[in-house]
């Protein structure tokens, strides 16, 4: 290896974790002595020069070469966070309250093992009258509305609104709109 690093400096850098290829790359970039690490300055700059270098190795190298540089900069995370992709099976059930994955022996109506609430509350469909767990009716596909607003959804169904428009209309309705609908529901019960 033709470099200005002395034999001792090369051995120390190898002991700190650098490989021969990384030492050759550094020499090619102009870092060829302990003093030239002062120009590199920070661990982040060293990592930018050698992207494949482990952050812990870069920290050890700069601590040896320029002891004051590492002490003044922010700590470098030793683990690089890579995005992960989780693929769940189609029969996986998640709690409606805390979104915690339920165990394989879960049955509809059980309590969540994480938060203690009913993981999948049993809801009644405003469209077909069927009941079941989840966010949608397994019979007709309608989105469940809150139990307290079920009479309002039935009223909107009688008015002729489409199945997919009813949950959206209830979500967008103001308190005054809901009061007017509740008045219509009460008049219809008389």
Q: Which of 32, 57, 72 is the last residue of a domain?
A: 72
* Domain presence at residue 80: no
Return d(Cα 56, Cα 76) in angstroms, integer.
8
- Please give the model's pTM, rounded to 2 decimal places: 0.44
Domain limits for position 42: 7-72
How confident is the prediction along the chain (190 residues), in pLDDT tens digits per residue? Answer: 445 788 888 888 888 888 888 888 888 888 888 888 888 878 888 888 888 888 888 888 888 887 765 545 555 555 566 777 878 777 788 888 888 988 988 887 788 899 888 888 788 999 998 988 878 888 899 999 988 899 999 999 999 999 999 999 999 999 999 999 999 999 987 6
Domain boundary among 31, 50, 72: 72
The answer as to whether 99 is a domain residue is no
Query: Residue 53: inside a domain, yes or no?
Result: yes
Residue 152, in any domain of the structure: yes
Q: Is residue 104 included in any domain, yes or no?
A: no
Strands 123-124 and 131-132: antiparallel
120 Cβ contact partners less than 8 Å away, ≥ 6 residues apart? 93, 95, 96, 108, 109, 133, 134
CB 85 within 8 A of CB 59: no
Q: How many distinct structural domains can be found in the chain?
A: 2
């Amino acid at each position: 290896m033709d470099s200005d690093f002395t034999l001792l400096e090369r051995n120390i850098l190898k002991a700190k974790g650098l490989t021969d290829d990384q030492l050759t790359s550094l020499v090619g970039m102009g870092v060829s002595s302990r003093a030239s690490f002062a120009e590199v300055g920070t661990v982040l700059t060293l990592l930018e020069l050698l992207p494949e270098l482990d952050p812990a190795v870069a920290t050890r190298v700069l601590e040896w070469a320029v002891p004051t540089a590492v002490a003044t900069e922010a700590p470098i995370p030793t683990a690089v966070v890579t995005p992960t992709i989780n693929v769940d099976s189609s029969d996986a059930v998640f709690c409606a309250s805390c979104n915690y994955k339920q165990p394989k022996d879960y049955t509809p109506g059980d309590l969540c093992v994480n938060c203690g609430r009913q993981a999948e509350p049993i809801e009644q469909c405003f469209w077909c009258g069927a009941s079941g767990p989840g966010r949608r009716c397994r019979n007709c596909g309608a989105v469940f509305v809150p139990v307290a607003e079920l009479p309002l959804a039935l009223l909107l169904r009688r008015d002729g609104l489409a199945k997919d428009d009813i949950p959206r209309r209830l979500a967008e309705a103001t308190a005054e709109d809901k009061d007017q609908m509740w008045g219509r529901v009460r008049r219809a019960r008389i």
